[in-house]
Structure 1
Amino acid sequence: MTSTGIVILVRFSSKTSTSSVPMDKADTLDHLFKRLSSTLDIETEYLTFTYNGKQYRHDSPEKSKRLTDIGLIDRATIFVVSRVKGGN
């Protein structure tokens, strides 16, 4: 991992374990959603995560912000939930 690398800890709502997702501090939320989608095998439009009391969706206005802009630091834990296709 480079000096700008960080690891995001991911708790998925239907699992009791935590997964690690390597990222770069300069990565955007959009990139994080794409990485989560690939890791969890769930389309980005069905993913939502909560960090530090705030909810983020793939289509949120903040998607172009860098991870550091929202305060994500190395070993921070995000809580991921997925919506059911056709649900709200």
Structure 2
Amino acid sequence: DSLVKQIDAEIEKYFSGENPYRFTQESRELYKSIGGTPFLDGDYTVFGEVVEGLDVLDRIAGLPTDSHDRPMQNVVILSTKLKRK
């Protein structure tokens, strides 16, 4: 019960328009210059990089999205190749 209430409160905060991500001006400049996704930072790990096929990412990024910035149709990755450095 307690966990459900906590999750509900987080969801409500997220969708109520409050911005839980407060950044210093220095942090803002870093995000602007090198990129990143603030709402994922601290929760997810980058585990690779795209070395070819960036045109595919550009096509995915250009798809129409809904009000939550999700593609109108799901995008499915059918295969990947792993390469050691």
Task: Verify same fold: TM over 0.5.
Answer: no
Q: TM-score range by the shorter chain?
A: under 0.3
Higher helix share: 2
Higher strand share: 1
Query: What TM-score, normalized to structure 1?
Result: 0.23
Structure ID, larger Rg:
2
Structure of higher RCO (CA pairs closer than 8 Å, 6+ residues apart): 1
